Structures are given as structure tokens and as C-alpha cells.
Structure 1
């Protein structure tokens, strides 16, 4: 019977130490595919930000943007975007509360640079995108600008609370730790994306497996009986919500789990 596995990227497919892709993970994913199984990325990243090095591993498809953009066998089968009007409400709220906001879509990422980025992690992310050669639009008021989802950095809790009086009408807020939050359209998650793919291929949930390491993986980890937390998962409470805890990503965690579940 064909099985399918869904992998988060950061801290799951990549090493928690340096962000590299362990060779053992590449080998195991390719071997699992060679055995007739389906391998999918299931990430909060939008498709444009799924770097070529991840695509080169070899996957049958991608669930991107926490279930808002899905690709199977090279074809896009679902895309859910926000309207420009909604994006402008979010932009004005971020400016009102002096928050660093990063809009994400399947084609681009864009910071609001109307004023200098405040949070050091936001500045580091901007610099990382520059190093990758990403073209980031700066004129966000352009009527053709939209997003699929977004993330933000704040300095004080009251900033987040104030911003959410606007965002909660449209988005779910996911706590990613510290002063960083991820926002996904209401009704969408890594679990809804996973279910969409299972319906597409007519695969039963008992033959599906999810791999993750953080809070935004929780919907897909709890949606399946077969769920895997990486040994480096944070918060540690994830360990109590999965069926199997493997080693850290940097310590052959993916290979060991795929062996454990009979993929290879």
C-alpha cells in the first residue's frame, strides 16, 4: 500500500544547528520515493520562499503557506489569496502599532519599509532575503499587491494586542515564540492542506504521516494517527501530542523515523 509523508522545513527537513539539509534526510526521502511512496513538503513558507535546495531533494508536491497554496505533481491545485483591501487594513494596523510586518505570497515576500525595521530578527530576515537575491516590492499600496499570509515582529505585548483587533477578523495568530508571530487565514492550516492532498490522491489517513518540530506543525501532527516530532522540537509539549519522537534533525531524525515506519 502506498504511503505518504508530509515534512515541515525549518527544524525538520533542515538541521536545527545550521539550517543545512542533512545528507541522511535526502537519502531517506529519495529512497522512500523509490519504494513507491509519496513525499511532500508541508510548510508555512509560501512557494516563492521554498528555496531550490529544498526542491532539489525530490518531492512529489508542496503544501505551502499553511495550506493556502498546494502543488501536486508539478501542478498548482489550490491557491487562496487575500484581497488588496484586506492587506491594506493589515498594513495600516501594523503602522499604527509600530510593528515590523512581512507579507508573503506564492510569488514574493515584502517588508513594509515605510520606516526602518525595529526588531533585530526582522532586520536579519530582510538581510537573508537580500543575500538570496529576492526582489522585494516596496510600494505596497500598489493595487496589484496582495498576500497569502504574513508574519510580524513586535517589541511590547500591547502592540500585538492592538494589531490583533484588526487581524483577528481575518487571520489566526500562531505563537512562534518570543516576539514573533505567524498569521494564517481563518479556516486554513497545515492540516487542511494535508487533507486536501489526501483527497486528491484518495489516500486514507492511516497511510499518512506528518513530521514537525513547532507550534505551526501542531494542526497536521494532531490530524493524523501517525505523527512524528523531531527530537529538537519546541515547545517540548509537542512530544506528548505525537505517536513517535525521533532524533534531532541534525542526528538523522528523518531517516530513523522513515525506517521505523517502514518507508525504507
Structure 2
């Protein structure tokens, strides 16, 4: 029995052409919720960078490729890289001149 459904953003929830979620997608999500499904966003993005989806339609978010999992307002899982690994990655990209973006989740509690 399916109890939860996970959705990527780009090309799944949001059109590549309009960069918005079509009304038909919203209706489909509401229909799933009406069947008792829990709905989740699952993305490589940081949650703060999700700006083209109505997050209130979802029960939770799996962000940063699983580094942070939130249900409602509660963070239930984090899996940050060890500091030593981050330092090694930074040293590598600096040494080799590799353009890089590091994203992460920080706990304030």
C-alpha cells in the first residue's frame, strides 16, 4: 500500500518552459492528498532555494539529496559531511581552480 509519494521539482512539479507548477499538477497533488497520501518534495536543492513550488501542499521535504529531511516543522534527519572532508574538498578545488558551490544545512537548535 502506497502511503507517501516523493516528487522532484524541475520537470516533474515545475515546467521547464514556465518554471512554474501547472494548475493540473496542483489538482493532481490535491487528489493524492484526498486519497490519504503524504506528499513530499525530494530535491538536490537547499530548501531555501525552493521558490517556485507552493511548499504548503507538501507534508515534508527531503533536501540537499537527503542531507536534510523535514516533516512539517520538524527536522527528523541530517547527514552533513564531516568537517575534515569539507576542508579537504575546499583545498582540492582551490588547488585546481575548480568552480564550486557548497550547500549545507546548519542546525541552530
TM-score (norm 2): 0.83
Alignment coverage as a number of residue pairs:
106
2-side partners of 1:15 and 1:52: how far apart?
A: 10
The answer on whether the counterparts of 2:19 and 2:52 sit within 8 Å (CA) in structure 1 is no
Tell me the equivalent position of 1:32. Answer: 32
Tell me the equivalent position of 1:15. Answer: 15
The answer on whether the counterparts of 1:47 and 1:105 sit within 8 Å (CA) in structure 2 is no
**Deviation of 1:55 (Å):** 0.9
Tell me the equivalent position of 2:48. Answer: 48
* More RCO (CA 8 Å, sep 6+): 1
Gaps of 5+ in 1: 108-264
Tell me the equivalent position of 1:100. Answer: 99
Structure showing the higher helix proportion among its residues:
1
Tell me the equivalent position of 1:85. Answer: 84
**Deviation of 1:2 (Å):** 5.3
1:161-180 correspondence to structure 2 within 5 Å: none
**Deviation of 1:67 (Å):** 1.5
Q: CA RMSD in A?
A: 1.9
3-state SS in 1 of match to 2:80: coil
3-state SS in 2 of match to 1:62: strand
**Deviation of 1:31 (Å):** 2.2
Q: Deviations over 1:215-264 (max 9, x none)?
A: xxxxxxxxxxxxxxxxxxxxxxxxxxxxxxxxxxxxxxxxxxxxxxxxxx
2-side partners of 1:99 and 1:2: how far apart?
A: 43
- Structure with the greater alpha carbon radius of gyration: 1
